[in-house]
Amino acid sequence: MCVLSILKSGKSYGYEIMKELEKFNLELKGEGSIYPILTKLKEKKLVQVTRELTEQGRARVYYELNQSGLQYLEQSTEEWISIQQDIQALLQTHNAWPKEERK
Amino acid sequence: MTGTLNHHEQSYYDRVMSLLNQYGASARLREQAGSQLLEHMEEAKINGESFQDALGTPEEFAFEYLEQDDRAGFHSSPYSSKGAGDLAAPAAPALINHAFILFLCAGLLFVYYTVLQAISAMYMTTSLVIDNPEFTFNLWYRISDQPWFNLMLVGTNALIAAGLTAVTFWLIRILRNRSRRGGNGRPSR
């Protein structure tokens, strides 16, 4: 979901996506990196994959969100927000929510 | 393609490839993992960073790919209790899988061949009804007293049995892939 949301802003490549995730403290260290996730998205046909040459003449694989990916992202985001709201409600009911954020 | 790698990168690459191979990852997945790994190593080099910072150990990197490929025995995370270092344990699941496939293949081939030979003996030869003391009937290799006809039937039945076995495996594979796809509906990260 996080990777797809990055791709919603435009096409990107593995290393760049990884750096973007790190900006939001979503580091994948110790979890085998971003690449298996990208492969999975490709297998599920949620992204379009293109190979382009860089200025240095190296081939770089770019990932771009397609229509199915966009639908999947919207659906997953809705699910995630719903789950988050349910958990928040539960924590608030049982006084486990941080005090400064409680009403 | 790996010519520009330094010693550390090369050994990491080799270890990942060896693990993927050892645990029976598909050629397509190995190729994909290899090219992505090389791309990451180059990008990390350009940005002056260590490629391994983001990838973890070769075992961790390989594990994520194996889990995706639904290799036998890799459906639960090794991080929960043991750690990915345990990937170095014997490749028992892949071996058992191969042995089972071989056993099933031999069994199917035998059953198909026997049934075809029996049908041929009953409907295409007279060996079961005519009592010929010079002819010794054997369901698997001698069903006709005419050597040329016997050879033709045995050869044809063996080929048909091999074809039927291949078709059966193809159907099993399709059904297995369908059930796998249907069962894995969890959202990705």
Judged by a CB distance cut-off of 8 A, whether residue B61 touches chain A is: yes
Chain A: residue whose CA lies nearest to B181: A44
CA gap A99, A19 in Å, rounded? 33
Indicate the burial class of A72 (C-beta count within 10 angstroms; 0-12, 13-18, 19 or more). Answer: buried
> Which of A21, A34, A39, A76 to mutate against chain B (most B CBs within 10 Å)?
A39
> H or E stretch including A83?
helix A67-93
> Which of B13, B42, B55, B59 to mutate against chain A (most A CBs within 10 Å)?
B55
Q: Is the ipTM of this complex over 0.85?
A: no
Of B39, B53, B68, the CB nearest to A29: B53
Of A2, A30, A61, the CB nearest to B56: A30
Q: What is the mean pLDDT of chain A?
A: 85
Residue A95, min C-alpha distance to chain B (Å): 29
Judged by a CB distance cut-off of 8 A, whether residue A15 touches chain B is: yes
Could you tell me how far CA B19 lies from the centroid of its own chain?
16
Q: Which domain does A45 fall in, by range?
A: 2-101
- Percent of chain B whose pLDDT exceeds 90: 18
As a whole number, mean pLDDT of residues A76-102 equals: 86
Q: How confident is the model at residue A30 (pLDDT cuts 50, 70, 90)?
A: low
Q: How confident is the model at residue B88 (pLDDT cuts 50, 70, 90)?
A: very low
Q: Which two tokens stand for residue B126?
A: 């007279």
Query: Is 60 exceeded by the pLDDT of residue B66?
Result: yes
Judged by a CB distance cut-off of 8 A, whether residue B179 touches chain A is: no
Going by the DSSP 8-state scheme, the letter that residue B126 receives in this structure is S
As a whole number, mean pLDDT of residues B124-146 equals: 81
Give the CATH number, domain containing residue A86.
Answer: 1.10.10.10
In total, how many domains does chain A have?
1
Q: Which of B80-94, B120-134, B162-176 has the lowest mean pLDDT?
A: B80-94
State the first-to-last Cα distance of chain A, in angstroms, to the nearest integer.
30
Kindly report the backbone phi and psi dihedral angles of residue B148, in degrees, each rounded to the nearest multiple of 5, phi listed first.
-65, -40
Q: Which of A56-65, B83-92, B179-188 has the lowest mean pLDDT?
A: B83-92
Determine the 3-state secondary structure of A12 from DSSP. strand
Contact criterion met (CB below 8 Å) for B78 and B86: yes
CA gap B14, B104 in Å, rounded? 33
Q: Which two tokens stand for residue A27?
A: 């580091």
Going by the DSSP 8-state scheme, the letter that residue B138 receives in this structure is B
Of B32, B54, B79, the CB nearest to A39: B32
Burial B63-89 (b: 16+ CB within 10 A, else e): bbbbbbbebbebeeebeeeeebeebee
Determine the 3-state secondary structure of B73 from DSSP. coil
Q: How confident is the model at residue B185 (pLDDT cuts 50, 70, 90)?
A: very low
Query: Is 70 exceeded by the pLDDT of residue B71?
Result: no
Q: What is the mean pLDDT of chain B?
A: 78
Pairing of strands A12-13, A59-65: antiparallel
- What pLDDT is recorded for position A96? 85
Pick the more confident residue, B99 or A14: A14
Contact criterion met (CB below 8 Å) for A12 and A62: yes
Non-local (6+) Cβ contacts of B184 within 8 A are B70
User: Please, what sign has the CA dihedral across residues A36, A38, A39, A44?
Assistant: positive
C-alpha angle B41-A42-B177 in degrees, rounded to nearest 5? 120
Query: Is 60 exceeded by the pLDDT of residue B188?
Result: no
Q: Which of A66-70, B66-70, B94-98 has the lowest mean pLDDT?
A: B94-98
Query: Is 50 exceeded by the pLDDT of residue B80?
Result: no
CA gap B189, B187 in Å, rounded? 7
Judged by a CB distance cut-off of 8 A, whether residue B59 touches chain A is: no
Closest CA to B121 of B149, B87, B162: B149
Closest CA to B41 of B24, B61, B59, B23: B61
Q: Which of A42-46, B92-96, B130-134 has the lowest mean pLDDT?
A: B92-96
Query: Is 50 exceeded by the pLDDT of residue B110?
Result: yes
